[in-house]
Protein backbone atom coordinates (compact mmCIF):
# COMPACT_ATOMS: atom_id res chain seq x y z
CA UNK A 1 0.00 0.00 0.00
CA UNK A 2 1.40 3.40 -0.96
CA UNK A 3 1.16 6.51 1.16
CA UNK A 4 -1.33 7.97 -1.31
CA UNK A 5 -3.76 5.06 -0.92
CA UNK A 6 -3.41 4.07 2.72
CA UNK A 7 -6.44 4.51 4.97
CA UNK A 8 -6.59 7.91 6.64
CA UNK A 9 -6.21 6.44 10.14
CA UNK A 10 -2.96 4.76 9.10
CA UNK A 11 -1.78 7.93 7.35
CA UNK A 12 -2.49 10.05 10.41
CA UNK A 13 -0.63 7.61 12.65
CA UNK A 14 2.34 7.57 10.31
CA UNK A 15 2.40 11.38 10.20
CA UNK A 16 2.36 11.52 14.01
CA UNK A 17 5.19 9.00 14.25
CA UNK A 18 7.29 10.90 11.69
CA UNK A 19 6.71 14.19 13.48
CA UNK A 20 7.60 12.67 16.86
CA UNK A 21 10.78 11.08 15.54
CA UNK A 22 11.86 14.24 13.74
CA UNK A 23 11.53 16.09 17.03
CA UNK A 24 13.70 13.44 18.72
CA UNK A 25 11.00 12.29 21.13
CA UNK A 26 10.03 8.85 22.38
CA UNK A 27 6.46 7.72 22.89
CA UNK A 28 7.12 7.77 26.63
CA UNK A 29 8.25 11.41 26.47
CA UNK A 30 5.12 12.34 24.51
CA UNK A 31 3.07 10.41 27.05
CA UNK A 32 4.61 12.41 29.89
CA UNK A 33 3.96 15.70 28.09
CA UNK A 34 0.33 14.86 27.30
CA UNK A 35 -0.94 12.64 30.09
CA UNK A 36 -1.94 10.05 27.47
CA UNK A 37 -0.67 6.51 27.86
CA UNK A 38 2.26 5.39 25.75
CA UNK A 39 0.13 2.39 24.74
CA UNK A 40 -2.54 4.70 23.31
CA UNK A 41 0.10 6.74 21.47
CA UNK A 42 1.55 3.53 20.02
CA UNK A 43 -1.87 2.33 18.87
CA UNK A 44 -2.63 5.66 17.22
CA UNK A 45 0.74 5.73 15.46
CA UNK A 46 0.19 2.19 14.16
CA UNK A 47 -3.28 3.07 12.86
CA UNK A 48 -4.98 0.70 15.29
CA UNK A 49 -7.07 3.39 17.03
CA UNK A 50 -9.18 6.25 15.84
CA UNK A 51 -8.26 9.56 17.39
CA UNK A 52 -10.61 12.36 18.39
CA UNK A 53 -9.72 15.81 17.17
CA UNK A 54 -9.31 16.97 20.77
CA UNK A 55 -6.84 14.13 21.44
CA UNK A 56 -4.99 14.97 18.23
CA UNK A 57 -4.70 18.54 19.48
CA UNK A 58 -3.19 17.38 22.78
CA UNK A 59 -0.75 15.07 20.99
CA UNK A 60 0.39 17.68 18.50
CA UNK A 61 0.34 20.84 20.60
CA UNK A 62 1.46 19.49 23.98
CA UNK A 63 3.34 16.36 22.95
CA UNK A 64 5.12 17.61 19.86
CA UNK A 65 5.08 21.36 20.60
CA UNK A 66 3.58 22.13 17.19
CA UNK A 67 0.40 23.95 16.30
CA UNK A 68 -2.17 21.87 14.44
CA UNK A 69 -1.63 24.15 11.45
CA UNK A 70 2.12 23.46 11.50
CA UNK A 71 1.52 19.72 11.83
CA UNK A 72 -0.86 19.52 8.89
CA UNK A 73 1.23 21.86 6.73
CA UNK A 74 4.43 19.91 7.42
CA UNK A 75 3.22 16.31 7.50
CA UNK A 76 0.02 16.21 5.43
CA UNK A 77 -0.41 17.06 1.80
CA UNK A 78 -3.95 16.22 0.71
CA UNK A 79 -4.28 14.52 -2.65
CA UNK A 80 -7.24 13.23 -4.59
CA UNK A 81 -6.55 9.61 -3.66
CA UNK A 82 -5.81 10.08 0.01
CA UNK A 83 -2.89 11.59 1.82
CA UNK A 84 0.62 12.02 0.55
CA UNK A 85 3.11 12.07 3.40
CA UNK A 86 6.60 13.45 2.81
CA UNK A 87 9.59 11.59 4.25
Between 36 and 72, the more confident residue is 36
Distance CA(73)–CA(75), nearest Å, equals 6
Q: How far apart are CA 83 and CA 75, in angstroms?
A: 10
Mean pLDDT, rounded, for 41-66:
94
Mean pLDDT, rounded, for 58-86: 78
Q: What is the pLDDT of residues 7-53, one digit of tens each?
A: 677 888 888 999 999 999 999 999 999 999 999 999 999 989 988 99
Q: Do the beta carbons of residue 37 and residue 80 sit within 8 Å?
A: no
What is the architecture, at CATH level 2, of domain 8-77? Answer: Orthogonal Bundle (1.10)
Residue 83 has pLDDT above 70, yes or no: no
How do the domains of the chain map onto residue ranges? 8-77
Amino acid sequence: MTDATMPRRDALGLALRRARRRRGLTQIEVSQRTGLSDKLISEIERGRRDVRFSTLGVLVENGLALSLAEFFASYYEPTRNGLLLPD
